[in-house]
């Protein structure tokens, strides 16, 4: 078991002084004896604090509501489970026979809870600085990928809110061409943004669609989005 745990420690980037804490963090409630639920509670609190602090520093202009939404995206179960799979955490979980048979080692909620428990265990083993350093290292790629733009909104709204957050003029859209028969037209639209030297363009079966495409192009040109959303 010790060799197996050593491999996990290397993946996590942290070596436990007290491996019993690590074992407890990996123990699901379906397993006989003590389990990781208390450590999960502690780790969840630490994760939210560290993520909140990082977002506060990373987005100095963000409002409270924006920070709350960003933190929710950063620490959601899907993100934690993705990290856990990267560590191959499922291979190390201690599960009861029922959970083993039902594939509990692959279940998103179990993986996310175990990762939070490990954060709690690292805190108890090495202190808050050790826990902060690991959490920030694990979340770095996800943190760098966040923007203040809500990607659940359409491109025109995202572009408008981005420009408003920087006290810039709103974008101007212009229909530059309409092609095709009345029942099957294609609209060509240009989008002008004060922060960009060149206009962006879009086309679609309606003016609205063409404007959305042009707005999406402006977001990419501004470096707000990468074009692969």
Cα separation, 110 vs 17, whole angstroms: 25
Active site residue 116: yes
Phi, psi (5° rounding) for residue 199? Answer: -75, 155
Active site residue 44: yes
HSE, CB side, 13 Å, CA atoms: give it for residue 49: 15
SS3 percent helix, strand, coil of the chain, rounded to 5, is: 60, 10, 30
Closest C-alpha among 153, 141, 142, 158 to residue 220: 158
Q: End-to-end alpha-carbon separation of the chain, Å?
A: 42
Cα separation, 112 vs 44, whole angstroms: 10
Cα separation, 214 vs 14, whole angstroms: 46
116, 125, 211, 225: which is the annotated catalytic residue? 116
DSSP character at residue 91:
G
Which residues, including other chains, have CB under 8 Å from residue 213's CB and lie 6 or more apart? 155, 189, 201, 202, 203, 204
Active site residues: 44, 116
């Amino acid at each position: 078991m010790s060799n197996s745990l050593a491999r996990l420690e290397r993946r996590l980037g942290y070596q436990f002084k007290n491996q019993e804490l690590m074992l407890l963090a990996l123990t699901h409630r379906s397993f006989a004896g003590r389990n990781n639920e208390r450590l999960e509670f502690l780790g969840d609190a630490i994760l939210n604090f560290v993520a909140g602090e990082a977002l506060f520093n990373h987005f100095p202009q963000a409002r409270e509501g924006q920070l709350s939404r960003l933190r929710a995206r950063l620490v959601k179960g899907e993100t934690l489970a993705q990290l856990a799979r990267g560590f191959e955490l499922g291979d190390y979980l201690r599960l009861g026979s029922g959970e083993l048979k039902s594939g509990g080692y692959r279940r998103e909620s179990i993986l996310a809870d175990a990762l939070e428990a490990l954060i709690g265990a690292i805190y108890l083993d090495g202190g808050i600085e050790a826990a902060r350093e690991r959490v920030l290292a694990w979340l770095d790629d996800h943190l760098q990928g966040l923007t203040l733009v809500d990607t659940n909104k359409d491109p025109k709204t995202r572009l408008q809110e981005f420009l408003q957050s920087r006290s810039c003029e709103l974008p101007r859209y212009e229909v530059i061409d309409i092609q095709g028969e009345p029942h099957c037209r294609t609209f060509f639209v240009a989008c002008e943004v004060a922060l960009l030297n060149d206009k962006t363009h879009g086309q679609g079966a309606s003016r609205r669609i063409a404007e959305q495409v042009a707005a999406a192009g402006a977001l990419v040109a501004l470096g707000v989005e990468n074009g692969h959303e």
